[in-house]
Structure 1
């Protein structure tokens, strides 16, 4: 349009197009397009509509191009001074997010953007806006999540590492005619576990609960060679549940010379009834290997139970336990069919 952008020669237009195609900055490319469109006589309102920018932006870009030429298209924020968020700042932020506010004298145990801004200003002398802190957190891949509760293992570090090393060696040197599984139990509650979900602004989804809770229990055994989960169900979480699991393993792996079972120290795992089962003629093919206390991360079936809750029990809408258990069975059956978590790492 006459007067918005000065007339451009064919050579100048071709030069701008070439520079635009080589430009890696999206905002800069928009400014090139504004100039080229206006030079073709396109009305500013139409340019704004096509490029999804405001008319004031079109006029401002055109004015700077007319005054300074192509150099006027550069982002003027480069003149704002030294960039505040540099690699040194981000490195300090990574360390800060990995710590607790209480380590820096704050009474609050969790971080907020505002608290991070104040603390980073103290540590680095660089003060930024909370919205800029959001971008910095996104840049380092930080997220808001629920911390995992843990309990210290009562064993010495040497004893704990010795046991874990022995279990890793067992798995690495397992003969082909023997089987190793990770065993654990999981509680299935009719009252659903409540978990995170996407929601629209101003909306909070609701989960209808049956009110009176009911429970079922599963014992499962994960074979790290195949990824297969073998499981049994019961109304009570006691030694009979584990014993049922042991007999099921004997039936599942009839040709295995030895079935090694890695499990935790839960009380139902070391009763006289369990010992009688292990001492029976068929039970002699079974051998229990106990993990150090409070080391759930080393029991590989724990991840399977987390996935089960995420895919079935969390925010579920079933009103009867039979419906819920049927979904649990379907999930585990499909999981085995698809060979998910195949060859689970040690």
Structure 2
């Protein structure tokens, strides 16, 4: 049989053209290339671009497979705070590595600390559904929430949570006292951001008093949330436990948080893997 392609059609992209596509996706947007107004490339836009630029007709599924072969994946981007000082961040990481080594020989524990708010009206996440039938998650449309203070030990994967109706200096002090109660007779080194409640006068008074002798605070460089591994713990909670679930009130949210807490307490190795640390 004669399997020749129709005149004018090129059967595939050359290796050089494939690398050009890879760089196009990684370093430009369709706007940059003068190819529409979309903020990022997808298979539909690439299909048109490839046909016009190289004279190659490819299916969207073929383009998807090509991108995978080029070691690209379809992922949700994350924000990077442009005010972060890269030099200070590097210096901080070096200082912290020294502190970690020193702690091994002392009666001390190193925790990364943060607080977050878990809302009933959480952002939805991609999931499987029947073609043409978008999954619908019930909602009252309200904004009930539960605040959580958390501490994670990046050496052992141990996690401590404290739930509160709001995050303020008073509830932060409650969290510190409970953390101290759990780890009696240990010196607790806490790495945390520069949130206002962490610098509150009542918190400073607590640290200056007898109760505060058990604590030492190390503050992250400004605008550097990526240096706090517990941020990845919050993402795990919100993406895989809270999202796409109907929570009718604060009690429902609290129950989901409790299930998550019970799970991670039983799986410290997975905690370390998820937050990007090793035992």
Question: Under a length normalisation based on structure 2, what TM-score does the superposition of the two structures give?
Answer: 0.85
SS of equivalent to 1:307: helix
Whole-Å separation in 2 of the counterparts to 1:224 and 1:154: 23
8 Å CA contact 1:100–1:109 kept in 2: the answer is: no
SS of equivalent to 2:146: strand
Question: Under a length normalisation based on structure 1, what TM-score does the superposition of the two structures give?
Answer: 0.69
Instruction: Name the structure, 1 or 2, with higher relative contact order (CA <8 Å, separation 6+).
Output: 2
Out of 112, 135, 138, which is 2:42 matched to?
112
Whole-Å separation in 1 of the counterparts to 2:140 and 2:51: 50
| Aligned pairs for 1:138-157 within 5 A | 138-155=68-85, 157=86
User: What's the counterpart of residue 318 of structure 1?
Assistant: 247
> How much has 1:109 moved relative to structure 2?
1.9
SS of equivalent to 1:325: helix
Does 1:196 pair with 2:126? yes
Whole-Å separation in 2 of the counterparts to 1:178 and 1:337: 23
Does 1:328 pair with 2:260? no
> How much has 1:126 moved relative to structure 2?
6.0
User: What's the counterpart of residue 294 of structure 1?
Assistant: 223
CA RMSD of aligned residues (A): 2.7
| Aligned pairs for 1:4-83 within 5 A | none
Out of 17, 22, 29, which is 1:94 matched to?
22
Out of 136, 140, 151, which is 2:66 matched to?
136
Does 1:213 pair with 2:143? yes
- Structure having the larger proportion of residues in helix: 1
Deviations 1:147-180 (A, max 9, x none): 212221353x323321232123322432342100
Whole-Å separation in 2 of the counterparts to 1:235 and 1:77: 70
Structure (1 or 2) with the larger CA radius of gyration: 1
Number of residues of Structure 1 aligned to a counterpart in Structure 2: 269
Note the residue ranges of structure 2 that are not aligned, 5 or more in a row.
none
> How much has 1:141 moved relative to structure 2?
4.1
Whole-Å separation in 1 of the counterparts to 2:49 and 2:131: 31
Using a 3 Å threshold, how does the CA distance of structure 1 residues 345 and 201 change in structure 2: closer, same or farther?
same
Give the ranges of 4+ consecutive aligned residues of structure 1 lying more than 4 Å apart after TM superposition: 80-83, 117-123
Does 1:277 pair with 2:206? yes
SS of equivalent to 1:181: strand
